Amino acid sequence: MRLLHIVATFSLAGSALSQSNTVDAYISSESPIAKAGLLANIGPNGAKCSGAKSGVVIASPSTNPNYIYTWTRDSSLVFKAIIDQFTLGQDPSLRSQIDNFIKAETFLQQVSNPSGTVSSGGLAEPKFNVDETAFTGAWGRPQRDGPGLRSTALITYANWLVENNNATFVSSTLWPIIQLDLDYVAGNWNKTGFDLWEEVQGSSFFTTAVQHRSLREGAALATRIGQTSLVSNYNTQADNILCFLQSYWNPNAGYITANTNSGRSGKDANGALASIHTWDIAAGCDAATFQPCSDKALSNLKVYVDAFRTIYTINNGIPTGSAVATGRYPEDGYYGGNPWYLTTLAVAEQLYDALTTWNSLGELNVTTVSLAFFKQFDSDVVVGTYPSTTANYAALTGAVKNFADGFVEIVAKYTPANGGLSEQYNRGTGVQLSAADLTWSYASALTAFGARAGTITASWGASGLVVPSRCSTAPTSTSSSSTSTPTPSPSPGSVSVTFNVHAITVYGENIYLTGSVGQLQNWSPDNALLLSAANYPTWSITVTLPANTAIQYKYIRKYNGKITWESDPNMQITTPSSGSIVENDTWR
């Protein structure tokens, strides 16, 4: 038996070495192609962005589907990658691109659009024409992740400038742009919007996570340049957002329910993307901010990856514990629902960031939450702390490294000979689909490759944070009487809650209730709870809910197959420790 074990060990080691060599070769060839592909999509001189103004990032040169627009989210993520390369000294030539981006975003912030003006919601407009005019067609708007992501990219540059004796430019030019975005986040974080896939209107884990980061580092920059009057509000709202962030965690199933009101499982690349874009090595494996090596982030990653093992033909025959192609979410139907390059690479990047953090900490901690993740690699692993000097640490981190490399190897396998990265690759054949030369795909390749090399990006203030014991559901800047509620971690027990809502309806129209917990159908409009009209125009229902829990909810109308939601923001209650309560509402 011992001989067989030794033979198997050498076999696995040889396989891992072969895979590592394949990944090394792919990164060597693909890195310059991805960099060139990214820059080709930035105006005015990019080779594939004809008509784009200076500093404007097109999503893709594709006309079918038509992606020749500039999205705030995509542009900000792309330029965060560019700014990181510049500020880390990897490519000094990128400074002119950054300056062009600043000018473009300064202009775009002021463009009135269907979401509003700069002071009335326009900062949440998802996309614009590449000539910097408003896109006025129908779209999923608002999308509230853009201001947080844009401010994060610019804050990274601003901090570098301050450190290099150019605080004057930061105060006079950068801060006014950054402040507009931060003020928007502080005032609107608790309102629903469309998710990063532009399909679901509700609350999104990714959006909440990047909003939290933006306010933390925004408060620090404000302090640094003397804008101290803004710091208290930014920090207060960051605390509130951190509290709300915890409500996405599904402890029974071990994953992040990525979106409310989706009607889907909630298993989504959203979680891995949030983790890598809010990584702060100084925070270690903090679970409250879902750091890449945290037990919650690792548990979520396993559930997300496993959701794709049996639904894509190209994953057939790949055993548990090995990498597979992954997409946005298992229920996806866009272009037939396929793997995406950027989502498959996001898994690898999270794992590489986790490895870098463990090496920095000098230890790896396995908890009951993350145990299933590690058991993929060693069925005998147990809960505990494994110092970096131990054989167990070497074995586990080696297995995780091999697992991460597997996702890059899959991307390599389905990258065509010219190195071009589209949006998707076919679930049955691996052939590229949808938009060609997707800028975000190229950026995700560069950041994943950098993570594998151990690149550490600037910290943003995630270290030492404590989830408040009580937090507000409304920004203090817009509400004089916010409701204080405990952290949304349910305690044992349950209580009876009667919901009454005054709602005038027409014949055949009914009122339903749904919300953020399973007893309220997890924001599903299809499975929402029907209220009784016995005391019309007051509609009522009594529901048993978890005790000591912050719960969000909304009423919806259903009439002739049409669903109408109440207006924002979500309503929220905190259930007592025992007994019963009555909530009296009026339809909004």
Question: How is residue 358 written in tokens?
Answer: 């463990």
One of 99, 198, 331, 363 is an active-site residue; which one?
198
Question: How is residue 271 written in tokens?
Answer: 């979680």
Assess contact for 588 and 566: CB atoms under 8 A.
yes
Q: Residue 346 and residue 337: Cα distance in Å, rounded?
A: 18
One of 74, 125, 183, 195 is an active-site residue; which one?
195
Question: How is residue 573 written in tokens?
Answer: 């209650």
* Burial label, 96 (beta-carbon count in 10 A; 0-12, 13-18, 19+): exposed
Pairing of strands 384-387, 363-366: antiparallel
Is residue 482 classed as helix, strand or coil in its secondary structure? coil
Is residue 186 classed as helix, strand or coil in its secondary structure? helix
Assess contact for 67 and 135: CB atoms under 8 A.
no
Determine how many CB atoms are found less than 10 A away from the CB of residue 315.
Answer: 18
Catalytic: 198?
yes
Q: Scanning the structure block, which residue is given the tokens 């000094």?
A: 92
> First-to-last CA distance in the chain?
70
Q: What is the dihedral of CA 250, 256, 260, 261, to 10 degrees?
A: -90
DSSP E strands in 343-478: the ranges are 363-366, 384-387, 424-425, 432-433, 470-472
Q: Residue 7 and residue 84: Cα distance in Å, rounded?
A: 44
What Cα–Cα distance (Å) separates residue 472 from each residue in 218, 260, 486?
20, 19, 9
Q: Residue 92 and residue 568: Cα distance in Å, rounded?
A: 45
Pairing of strands 580-586, 494-502: parallel
Catalytic: 195?
yes
DSSP codes, 132-185: SPBP-S------TTHHHHHHHHHHHHHHHHHHTT-HHHIIIIIHHHHHHHHHHH
Question: How is residue 234 written in tokens?
Answer: 């930014």
Q: Residue 501 and residue 281: Cα distance in Å, rounded?
A: 47
Check residue 398 and give left, alpha or beta (phi > 0: left; psi -120 to 50: alpha): alpha
Write out the H or E segment, with its range, that includes residue 296.
Answer: helix 295-306
CA angle 339, 153, 35 (to 5 degrees): 55
* Catalytically active residues, by annotation: 195, 198
